[in-house]
Chain A
Amino acid sequence: MTTQAPQFPGAPVVRREARDKVTGTARYAADRIPAGCLYAWTVPATVAAGRVTAVRAVDALAVPGVHSVLTHDNAPRLQEPDDPILAVLQDERVPHHGMPVALVIADSLEAARTGAGELHIEYERDPHDVTLTEDHPGLYTPEEANGGFPAVRNRGDVEKALAASPVQVDATYRMDALHNHPMEPHAATAEWSDGHLTVHDSSQGSDKVRGSLAQAFGMSPDHITVVSEHVGGGFGSKGTTRPQGVLAAMAARHTGRPVKLVFPRAQLAEVVGHRAPTIQRVRLGADLDGVLTAVSHEVVTQTSTVKEFVEQAAVPARVMYASPNSRTGHRVVALDVPSPSWMRAPGEASGMYALESAMDELASALGLDPVELRLRNEPATEPDSGRPFSSRGLAACLRDGAARFGWHDRDPRPAARQEGRWLIGTGVASATYPVLVSRSTASAHAAPDGSLTIRVNATDIGTGARTVLAQIAADALGTDPAAVHVDIGSTDLPTAPLAGGSSGTASWGWAVHKAAADLAARLAGHSGPLPAEGITTTADTEQETADESPYARHAFGAHFAETAVDAVTGEVRVRRLLGVYAAGRILNARTARSQFTGGMVMGIGMALTEGCGIDPVFGDFTAKDLASYHVPVCADTADIQAHWIEEDDRHLNPMGSKGIGEIGIVGTAAAIGNAVRHATGARLRELPLTPDTLLPYLL
């Protein structure tokens, strides 16, 4: 669709719930303490494949304060859930390590935990297979990759074109599993009252959770309320319904009391999804001027035996660079591992690490500046679909970023700059993320006292959704954002999609804009005092979001990194990280900057410290807690800057905005890896770039 010119002010309004968050009064799912609340502790399977054959609960039940023990033998029966990972405590099968096999419910958390320690469980083990290899005999080509993308796309004759290219790159990149680890562990507090189930759940979308609970418990959604008022981050792991709500509701039904369940940190990795490990082979063919003739990106990844999830890592190669010949494909193998799922920019984050590293390798092979190489391969239309771009700001981001960063002062030779024991290098990588939007509803209300209220079941997982929705409504109503009250985070509000795919603001905002504009028109046509019930308008964007756009719609960006590598220890420090983004209209400069730089910080983790293997013998993740799985800390971040270019794109939504929550992590790891290569001359093709992997190249 085409909209009028976006006029959005984009003021840096202060996050409206900031005061609640700095004073500790913002309530998260585990902060609810209903009267008579019991506490549940989950017991994870200690085998990777097999069956529970016996449970001895008597010792656990003898622990003072322990109320009940639930296993598959006595837990409430569920209907077949909408997501197979929610079929918890339903049968004896153990499909992966860490699957919850029992729940201990007690008067206090201490008693529940002690009880769990007293529970004796016996298993019959099946042989398990948890190791991804590029020649695994179980690999197959799925129909689709995550996001509904076709698994394979071919254009032209890539093999022939590669063979005929004077310059070629053929490189394989590897990364282990990554874990979302939002600071708030997945939690739920559930309560039944007169047949009505209320769950405070740590989720990215409570309508989605309510639907899952209704399905699992065979109930009408009208008898379920799910609240996600404040959510301590999700990064995709709370975008699909997770077992905590189902388990807490089961326990509450079984005991007749409210039940609180928080997954212990070290159990999270195996129950909330992860970014699947990938082995990615990228082949590029170019002429001597660096113009691409062939792009091939082939991804091998893993899923579980519970459900198929295929990290769509080859998809960005369908968007990025012009090439008459292209092959992008995914193959997957189902292993005895926890089910992978969404983690911030699924597909793009992994895929752009490989593609943007390969582009850097091509630039080196050509002796061409890496920024220039990318500029020479800008496509006129989306390479895979042939559709015109609604807007494409990649070249502008690369140029603007290069100028801000001081890119062109760089000596292109590798390992040419040293300061004491530090080897210094700079690197660049592009970023991209698709524009997604879903149907949403919202309402706007004007009360006789003049107050204005927006109601929409949006979820604020740290994006600043409340704030930006108030701005959007205020803009349509011609008033100040402070004058607009915004209610979000409960299924009692008008139905709305989840906070995911960087689509929240576009989806909710569109409905809010529509309801508010409608209200403004109604108010303009009204004379005299408002009726006692005020005026309410409702909006549904079913029509607006139904048709596929004739345009290819993506946000773009460019990341520049300066790294220092300790020549003695192999430690990598990111001295500077600069991102420039083209993401439509930026609706709130203050909260947008936080999202961009937050994504970049997570990219530092992906580049330098994060990665989790699976133990081939025990079949479990080897780094399950925050002492072993290293997310970035404050000292890992130095000079981190986010900038954006003004983009006027009339083919998006009434606000003219693109999503901004994920693009900050896309390409960041490649920019850092390329900078490390420039600093040291060593091209590592495996993340993370830990000292032990670098050291052999420095001696």
Chain B
Amino acid sequence: MDSLALGADLEPEPVVDEHSTVTLFVNGEETTLTVDHRATVLETLRESFGLTGAKKGCDHGQCGACTVLVDERRVNSCLLLTVTQDGAVITTVEGLADGESLHPVQQAFVERDALQCGFCTPGQICSAVGMLREAADGHPSHVTGPDDATGPVALDAAEIRERMSGNLCRCGAYPRIVEAIEDVIE
């Protein structure tokens, strides 16, 4: 590289790397660890916990592949800095099944073939679990009628499609994903 030295007489600018200690409750287990302030929850889950179920499709909050549940709400874990999550209760796709028995959303995805390459699938499943709760809690969506905005929202196909549109699937499994979620609601 030095043969290509550019501005070799300038001193490098100092870059500080900062770390802090946080405690996370991941899939029911309490862990205290030291994290780089730049690390996202996604990066921490994958590289520090070895929980590689959550996927990195974009690292920019554009695809939903990294969706996990934080305090039971679905979030894009690539947009959360781990250092801000001290004390957070995190559920990943690895934490949904009850031992050998799959979570109903997981089971429905298998039965409906709501996946192909499977890369978006952990995010879709966590998103669906979070979404069902949001609807039950009465959160309206873009397609919720003004009169339906009180109490739990009934999820028809249009509601499901709208609420699941933050999770991209390039394999185009959407029709089966909607069917799988409908199966769970029934």
Contacts of A33 in B (CB 8 A): 46-47, 50, 52
Chain A, 681-698, contact with B by CB distance < 8 Å: what is the 0/1 string?
A: 000000000000000000
In angstroms, Cα B39 to Cα A533, docked, is 50
Contact check, A462 vs B118: say whether CB atoms are below 8 A apart. yes
Whole-angstrom CA separation of A63 from B12 in the bound complex: 9
In the complex, what distance in Å separates the CA atom of A71 from the CA atom of B2? 11
**A448 beta carbon closer than 8 Å to chain B:** no
Chain A neighbourhood of B71, CB < 8 A: none
Set of chain A residues within 8 Å of B14, measured between Cβ atoms? 62
Which of A104-112, A155-163, A517-525 contacts its partner?
A104-112
Name the B residues within 8 Å of A25 (CB-CB).
Answer: 53, 94
Chain A residues with CB under 8 Å of B34's CB are: none
- Whether the Cβ atoms of B17 and A65 lie closer than 8 Å is yes
Q: Smallest CB–CB gap between B117 and chain A, Å?
A: 3
Assess whether B58 is in contact with A626, with CB atoms less than 8 Å apart. Answer: yes
Asked if A183 and B115 make an inter-chain contact with CB atoms under 8 angstroms apart, the answer reads no
* Bound CA–CA A195/B65 (angstroms): 36
B1-47 CB contacts (< 8 Å) to partner A: 1, 3-8, 10, 12-15, 17, 36, 38-39, 43, 46-47
Query: CB within 8 Å of B: which of A1-53?
Result: 14-15, 17-28, 30-31, 33, 52-53
Interface digits, A575-610 against B, CB 8 Å rule (1 contact, 0 not)?
Answer: 000000000000000110111011111100000000
Q: Name B3's closest neighbour in chain A (CB-CB).
A: A73
Q: In the complex the two chains form, is A54's CB within 8 Å of B60's CB?
A: no
User: Contact partner of A183 among B50, B119, B162, B164, CB < 8 A?
Assistant: B119
CA distance A626 to B173 in the complex (A): 18
Give the contact-size bracket for chain B: 35 or more
List, in ascending order, chain B residues with CB within 8 A of A235's CB.
Answer: 170
Decide if B77 is an interface residue (CB 8 Å cutoff): no
Check: A545 CB closer than 8 A to any chain B CB: no
Q: Which residue of A lies closest to B106 (CB)?
A: A22
Shortest beta-carbon distance, A656 to chain B, in Å?
Answer: 23
Chain A interface size, under 10 / 10 to 19 / 20 to 34 / 35 or more: 35 or more
A500 CB contacts on chain B under 8 angstroms: none
Q: Are B8 and A56 in contact (CB under 8 A)?
A: yes
Determine if A230 and B118 form an interchain contact, defined as CB atoms under 8 angstroms apart.
yes
**With A and B bound together, what is the CA distance between A595 and B173 in angstroms?**
9
B178 at the interface (CB under 8 A from A): yes
Residues of B within 8 A of A636 (CB): 174
Residues of B within 8 Å of A138, CB to CB, are none
Pair A635/B4 contact, Cβ less than 8 Å: no
One digit per residue, 1 when the CB lies within 8 angstroms of any chain B CB and 0 when it does not, for chain A 109-150 equals 111011000101010000000000000000000000000000
**Is A345 an interface residue when CB atoms closer than 8 A count as contact?**
no
- Residue pair A110, B58 in contact (C-beta under 8 Å): no
Q: Report the minimum CB–CB distance from A345 to chain B (whole Å).
A: 14
A58→B166 CA distance, assembly (Å): 41
Contacts A64-B15, A183-B170; is A591 near B113 (CB within 8 Å)?
yes
Does residue B121 face the partner (Cβ distance < 8 Å to A)? yes
Total residue contacts A-B, CB cutoff 8 A: 240
Do residues A462 and B117 form an inter-chain contact, with CB atoms below 8 A?
Answer: yes
Contact among A55, A264, A598 with B173 in the assembled complex (CB-CB below 8 Å): A598
Q: Given A56-B5, A640-B175, are A183 and B53 also a contact pair (CB < 8 Å)? A: no
Is B76 part of the contact surface with A, judged by Cβ < 8 Å? no
Nearest to A18 among chain B residues (CB) is B110
A418 shortest CB reach to chain B, Å: 21
- Which residues from chain B contact A111 at a C-beta distance below 8 Å? 17, 36
Residues of the B chain whose Cβ atoms lie less than 8 Å from the Cβ of A74: 1
Tell me which residues from 37 to 91 in chain B have a Cβ below 8 Å from any Cβ of chain A.
Answer: 38-39, 43, 46-47, 50-60, 62-63, 65
* Complex contact B59–A265 (CB within 8 A): yes
A18 engages B6 (CB within 8 Å): no
A357 vs B41: C-alpha distance when bound (angstroms): 48
Cβ of A597 and Cβ of B168 under 8 Å apart?
no
Assess whether B43 is in contact with A118, with CB atoms less than 8 Å apart. no
Contact partners of B176 in chain A: CB under 8 A:
594, 597
Look across to chain A and name the residue whose beta carbon is closest to the beta carbon of B143: A635
User: Is A31 in contact with B52, judged by CB distance below 8 angstroms?
Assistant: yes
A232 pairs with B117, CB closer than 8 A: yes
* Cα of A31 to Cα of B160 in the assembled complex, Å: 30
Which residues of chain A are within 8 angstroms of B111 by Cβ–Cβ distance?
14
Which residue of chain A lies nearest to B54 when distances are taken between CB atoms in the complex?
A: A24
Supposing A109-B47, A595-B116, A625-B60 touch, asked if A183 and B6 sit within 8 A by C-beta, the answer is no
- Whether A262 sits at the interface, judged by CB under 8 Å, is yes
| B164: contacting residue among A110, A120, A595, A634, CB under 8 A | A634
A19 vs B166: C-alpha distance in the bound complex, in angstroms?
23
A183 touches B120 (CB 8 A): yes
* B153 at interface by CB-CB < 8 Å: no
Q: Is the CB of A120 within 8 A of B7?
A: yes
Q: Does B185 interact with chain A (Cβ within 8 Å)?
A: no
CB pair B118 A637 closer than 8 Å? no
Among A59, A231, A626, the residue within 8 A (CB) of B62 is A626
Contact, CB under 8 Å: B39 / A183: no
Could you tell me if A182 and B6 are in contact, using CB atoms closer than 8 angstroms?
no
Q: Pick the residue among B5, B102, B165, B171 that contacts A462 (CB under 8 A).
A: B171
CB neighbors of A among B144-186 (8 A): 157, 160-162, 164-178
B52 near A635 (CB under 8 angstroms)? no
Is A21 a contact partner of B177 (Cβ separation < 8 A)?
no
Query: What residue of chain A has the Cβ atom nearest to residue B15's Cβ?
Result: A63
Chain A hits for B56, CB < 8 A: 30, 185, 262
- Complex-state Cα separation, A551 to B171, whole angstroms: 32
Known: A26-B118, A183-B57. A110 touches B173 (CB 8 A): no
Report Cα–Cα, A24/B102, bound state, in Å: 12
Q: Say if the beta carbon of B97 comes within 8 Å of chain A.
A: yes
With CB as the reference atom, state the residue of chain B lying closest to A664.
B172
Contacts of A108 in B (CB 8 A): 36, 39, 47
- Shortest Cβ distance from residue B147 to the other chain A in the assembled complex, whole angstroms: 19
Which A residues are closer than 8 A to B by beta carbons? Answer: 14-15, 17-28, 30-31, 33, 52-59, 61-65, 69, 71, 73-74, 108-111, 113-114, 118, 120, 122, 180-185, 230-233, 235, 262, 264-266, 461-464, 590-591, 593-595, 597-602, 625-627, 631-638, 640
Can you report 13 A-B residue pairs in the complex whose CB atoms are below 8 A from each other? Answer: A14-B111, A21-B115, A23-B93, A31-B52, A55-B1, A56-B4, A61-B12, A118-B12, A183-B65, A183-B117, A627-B62, A633-B166, A637-B172
Apart from A24-B92, A185-B57, what 11 extra A-B contacts exist at CB < 8 Å?
A: A14-B113, A18-B110, A54-B5, A56-B4, A56-B7, A59-B15, A233-B116, A594-B176, A600-B172, A633-B166, A638-B161
Interface residues of B (CB under 8 A from A): 1, 3-8, 10, 12-15, 17, 36, 38-39, 43, 46-47, 50-60, 62-63, 65, 92-94, 96-97, 102, 106-107, 109-111, 113, 115-122, 125, 157, 160-162, 164-178
